[in-house]
Structure 1
């Protein structure tokens, strides 16, 4: 049986199991087992045990549950209320006014949670009712929140960067540093769009509130500033070479517990709830990583990655066309899979092709995460669309339309990354040069 037919059969098995509601991690393991047991003489059971063991004790994995726990602690520490109250006085004079709270707030929360859905949900919990009460356009409120929520995947410490770093065997510290400038770029694109939109829709933006003196702005931001300092300490310790991602994550957990205690939001119940939520999320992601690792072994035994790479090479695609093709494939995959699954399922196939085309693996990781951000806004499985659908009470079509301009801005961000790869590679190279 040729490789194309085998790939089609395995793809069908994958779709049937996913459609049947089987967990993604278990599905990937099952497809890998079928690939080895049915189409190769290799011992499927022994390879499964070896692969799962080899990938489960990876030290880099320890940073993942710690960063997730840090986000869960702050999520329960009334961070959304503090964020709106702290950011509003600083952003009220910009064109678009408090719509920028969604964007900047999601940028701050992204550095805390590392998750797109958690970022959108945390900021939206407070901002959507406030913006509606003050008379802002509901469409723009939903759109800015859906688009900016995707920053949770890009701004470090990002869970998706850890997943990619483990899958591609790249430095997680370098990936964290590489994500800073692209994350700020995406935020700037979103804020620029809001400013331009507000210039053409002046009636949709309420007038600014009274000017506040600097002392009053600082007073209102007093509970948000410690969170910002914690974020700077976590990322700065990695960038400065003082801590590994795992050590920085440990610092973040203790800092988050301290902030929650000072804010009197830390109780035994909230501690247990945050720990259990972090455990569930981490187990889900690690199961996906292990399942994809075993599936990659199965595909390697069948020669599928090499065959696909040879096919792409035979097409004579330029590096630019290769990126266009990969972007289209990932956007389509995003209609059916969530981010971690997309990354671990495709990295073993896509990474050799892009490295051969002359792209830096760290740059490709940032590019891939921005494309996965785009997938968060594509129906029917765009996670941010589901979050905003539930929070706003609007139908999925309305939420999708509100998010469409921000999907376009993310596409522009991908294009800028491709045209100016130094946006992602400059800081990591600077870190290595030190």
Structure 2
């Protein structure tokens, strides 16, 4: 949900009226470091319990490079579209159009172009577009409600009267988001919390772009956080022969990595904001 092209960041950008390209650039370092933390967790697990990562036949670099050739055209398409969006060549709408035309061209070159493919693509696009418009309508209505009732101002003034440090206030916010993320869908969570929590973050001196990365990252953890983590139940529904308790135990090392990573993002906002400032987006 964090690494571009991230649907969650697109939705946040729509709700919070932020540049989607800037959000994508800001997500690169947090997404990369998140992957590094997961790699470290896997290495430590395999070192402590070698049975989890048994030795296998090693593949030489020549074979690896040959296998990459099979997806080279797709990789070029992704880099071109996302890169063009990040550096300002395209607006999000134009980037989507370029991506669609290029994807159809790749399908034609690969001989995979057929009516069923077009029908499925159009159907999925219509469903996604309808969902996004419903989200926008709901976000506008809820933001208007929050503004008219003064909830955001009340919450901001409450934070000011607490005299807590910004880091402590954000940590409390993270705990609330983790609790809500355990049983709420990601889009619903964004819709409910962004109009309330974003003004508080701005009051504390944080960037709206940083808050978007923080929100998505915290939301991801809530999806797998015991005891309710909805995604864990989805996984258990797919692998019905795996006990739910075993899945929860299996994610503990990765949850530890997640919490350390989230703490770093809160303590060092530059991890999120440095690249957009350098890229000039």
TM-score for the superposition, normalised by structure 2? 0.91
Pair 1:192 & 2:57 matched: no
Mark the runs of 5 or more structure 1 residues left unpaired by the alignment.
1-152
Q: Using the TM superposition, give the Cα deviation of residue 186 of structure 1 relative to its aligned residue in structure 2, in angstroms.
A: 0.4
Whether contact under 8 Å (1:355, 1:361) holds in the other structure is yes
Tell me the residue number matched to 1:310: 157
Query: CA separation of 1:311/1:187 partners in 2, compared to 1, >3 Å: closer, same or farther?
Result: same
Q: Summarize the Cα distance change of 1:272–1:219 in structure 2 as closer, same or farther, 3 Å threshold.
A: same
How far does residue 218 in structure 1 lie from its aligned partner after superposition?
Answer: 2.3
| 1:275 and 2:122 are equivalent in the alignment | yes
How far did residue 192 of structure 1 move? 1.4
Whether contact under 8 Å (2:156, 2:203) holds in the other structure is: no
The aligned counterpart of 1:418 is 266
3-state SS in 1 of match to 2:280? helix
Matched-pair contact (CA < 8 Å) for 1:285–1:340 = no
CA deviations 1:234-280 (Å, max 9, x no partner) are 12112332222222222222232233333444421122123212322
For 2:15, the equivalent position in structure 1 comes to 167
SS at match of 1:157: coil
- Where relative contact order (Cα < 8 A, 6+ residues apart) is larger, the structure is 2
Q: Does 1:404 align with 2:277?
A: no
1:196, 1:359 → 2: CA distance? 34
Residues 362/405 of structure 1: CA separation in 2 closer, same or farther (3 Å cut)? same
1:430 to 264, 278, 281: 278
Asked if structure 2 preserves the Cα contact closer than 8 Å seen for 1:238 and 1:244, the reply is yes
Alignment of 1:116-131 (within 5 A): none
Q: Deviation of residue 427 (structure 1)?
A: 1.4
- Quote the offset at 1:390 in angstroms: 2.8
TM-fit CA distance, 1:285: 3.6
**1:219 aligned to 31, 45, 66, which one?**
66
Out of 352, 364, 384, the residue aligned to residue 211 of structure 2 is 364
Q: Using the TM superposition, give the Cα deviation of residue 352 of structure 1 relative to its aligned residue in structure 2, in angstroms.
A: 1.4
- What is the deviation of 1:379? 5.4
2:101 to 251, 254, 258: 254
Aligned pairs, how many? 280
Deviation by residue 1:39-72 (Cα, 9 ceiling, x = unmatched): xxxxxxxxxxxxxxxxxxxxxxxxxxxxxxxxxx
Residues 296, 277 of structure 1: CA spacing in aligned structure 2 closer, same or farther, 3 A cutoff? same
Pairwise CA distance, 1:169: 1.6
SS in 2 for 1:376: helix
Q: Shift of the alpha carbon at 1:310?
A: 1.6
Distance 1:255 1:322 in 2: 45
Query: For residues 1-400 of structure 1, what are the structure 2 equivalents within 5 Å?
Result: 153-214=1-62, 216-378=63-225, 382-393=229-240, 394-400=242-248
CA distance in 2, matches of 1:243, 1:168: 20
Q: Could you state the TM-score of these two structures normalised by the residue count of structure 1?
A: 0.60
**Structure 2 gap segments, 5+ residues each:** none
Partners of 2:155 and 2:200 within 8 A in 1: no
Pairwise CA distance, 1:377: 1.0
Q: In structure 1, how many angstroms separate the alpha carbons of the residues matched to 2:180 and 2:69?
A: 43
Q: Is the 8 A contact 1:336 1:380 kept in 2?
A: no
Q: Contact 1:293/1:344 (CA < 8 Å) preserved in 2?
A: no
- The structure 1 segments of at least 4 consecutive aligned residues displaced by more than 6 Å after TM superposition are none
Partners of 1:401 and 1:285 lie apart in 2 by: 35
